[in-house]
Amino acid sequence: MKVAVFLIIICYSALGYGSVNNDVRILIDVSGSMQQNDINNLRVPALELLINLLANDTQAGVWLFAEQTDKLVPLATVSSQWKKAALTKINRIHSRGLLTDIETALHAATVGWEKPASSAQRVLILLTDGVVDVSAQSFMQSAESRERILSELSPLFKKNNIKVYSIALSTQADSDLLRQLAKKTDGWYELAKSAEQLQRIFFKIFQKAIPVATVPLSDNTFTIDSSINEFSTLIFRKNKADTSKLITPSGAVFSQETIAAQLYWHYQDNYDLVTVKSPEAGLWQIKADVDPDNQVMIVTDLQLRTSVLPNYLNSGEQLAIDVYFTDAQKIITRTDFLNFIELKLKINNTADVNQSYEFIAQLDKPGFFKIQLPEFDQEGIYHLDISANGQSFQRAVMHSLAVLKTLISMTYKIDAQQVVIDFVPDAELVDTRVLHIAASIQVGDAVLQNVIVTEQAGQWQLMIQAPEPEQQVLVNFTVQAQSVAGVAITPALQDLLFTHDMFVVEPVPLVIEPAEIIEQTTDLELQKPISEVVAAIDLVTETTEEESLVEEVQFNWPVIAVVVVVNLLLMIVGYFGFRFYKNKSRAQQAEVLERLE
């Protein structure tokens, strides 16, 4: 075992999968219930795999928590020395804790993350098998702690760019809490029904939290091109006795027993992690059982990149995806390179429905390709597989997203003074008699405000005042409800962010009193568009006509004569005003055209 650990440390000290600024912090539950849910302490090999996958220059640390939180591996920059020290400490993971204080653990692991990150990926991985349990005497203390996690910590994490990747080990865990914490921070939630699934789940979390460059793996074969400096393949095995082999393009066979300068083979009971430096270009083959979780990760300057892909969508939402290529971090715009690339997207959902789409080049953005996907109507997990096939290379990006059913729809309207948010629950699914919506409002750096959204005449509405310049408003929601069948539910609502410039200032209407029109026509109306002049004339005409009808009954002929004369004067002024306006506009257009020529 010591040799295997030594080899893998050397191997991964050379890889540069992640960004230099990645910051990964891991929380492991060591409460007493783990004695039943993780009898063989499989948290240890799962954490070992994750540690080995971390790239150098990543910040990382590991904490253990139960009734208190203890630092297992100090937060530091990942290196071969850090990994060696971490791998010697993970055997201290135990199952002797008395309580499960998740709130305190979250506070301890996020020290230093009190302000938003500039560009760093902040990843918090939380593994637990229980519920919030902070006191053996008081149930209310645990309930209050749970509420603070959702109403205070989750919006703070969202604001500070902290994504929570939560793992529930067993169905007895508070899956609702873990799911909401992941959803509210745009992280991810996984349920491990048994400890045997932990290694695969930790790898899935790693893939989502710290995406790496990959090549497509089809029927255990993959293509390596000359731009790839190094690759690592993770091969899962169903049986401990099975052996895996790797066949090079020239026919050489690599295995666990192979000794070669460029080969590092890490063997564990359930998987092989193989790294090859300066690999031979061509078609490689894995001799092992085909497994959907197998992957080939590469180190190369030529990478396929995408726009930010969400982890969650609401039912009925659409998704647009942009992709592009970079060479040494620079976007490639050369048409002789891009014109011969086939870019495709395959989508598979939980109902095993497969759909394929092709990306289209964006004429207004050289080097970029786009795809507009239709609405995601069916809830569930969708697996997105983006593949690029060039004349001499292949690349792949894999991503999973969850489509959630919208139990409560939310819309908002903004004017100059405020934003009005309306909530409409689906009455066929939600018992509106016991619906409770709470909003946590953060205005700039001010103290967090907690507001209860009340119902009035069958409507749920929240009004928030516009922020001051240079400020923003972050709104986070916590919902407690009950289905029509009487089951407690907690529908998730998307966080909202409003900036000062989103509040439109309405123009002040110009009001001209009818009595002033005759006096102002000569000076004012010639400066206004003819449509406004005509409107003013119509206004006076309507007014004078009404007055003349009244006066006509009294046979006031002098007043009638004055009205007629005034109308004639207004029409004459309007006519010459219109000609003046047209001549002025024509002169301005001619002047502009001269400058353009």
In sequence order, what DSSP letters do the residues of 369-433 get, joined into one string?
A: EEEEE----S-EEEEEEEEEE-SS-EEEEEEEEEEE--SEEEEEEE-SSEEEEEEEE-TTTB-GG
Cα dihedral 33, 38, 40, 44 sign: negative
pLDDT in tens, 246-296: 999 999 999 999 999 999 999 988 899 999 999 999 999 999 999 999 999
User: Can you give the pLDDT at residue 265?
Assistant: 94
pLDDT band at 505 (very low <50, low <70, confident <90, very high): low
- The more confident residue out of 214 and 4 is 214
User: Can you give the pLDDT at residue 315?
Assistant: 82
Pair of tokens at residue 129: 């098998």
Q: How far is CA 310 from CA 208, 214, 326, 475, 479, in A?
A: 11, 19, 21, 19, 22
Pair of tokens at residue 362: 């964006």
**Is residue 245 within 8 Å of residue 253, measured between CB atoms?**
yes
Mean pLDDT of 150-154: 91
What angle do the packed helices 530-553 and 557-596 form, to 10 degrees? 180
User: Can you give the pLDDT at residue 427?
Assistant: 82
% the chain with pLDDT above 90: 56
Rounded to whole angstroms, the Cα distance separating 29 from 66 reads: 6
The pTM score is 0.73
Q: How far is CA 531 from CA 519, 534, 537, 577, in A?
A: 19, 5, 10, 11
Lowest-confidence region among 137-146, 381-390, 491-500: 491-500
Question: How many CB atoms are closer than 10 A to CB 191?
Answer: 16
Mean pLDDT of 465-493: 85
Mean pLDDT of 340-357: 87
**Is residue 23 within 8 Å of residue 122, measured between CB atoms?**
yes
Rounded to whole angstroms, the Cα distance separating 207 from 195 reads: 19
**Is residue 201 within 8 Å of residue 190, measured between CB atoms?**
yes
Rounded to whole angstroms, the Cα distance separating 264 from 13 reads: 12
pLDDT in tens, 194-250: 899 999 999 999 999 998 999 999 999 999 999 999 999 999 998 877 889 999 999
- The more confident residue out of 231 and 559 is 231
3-state secondary structure at position 98: coil
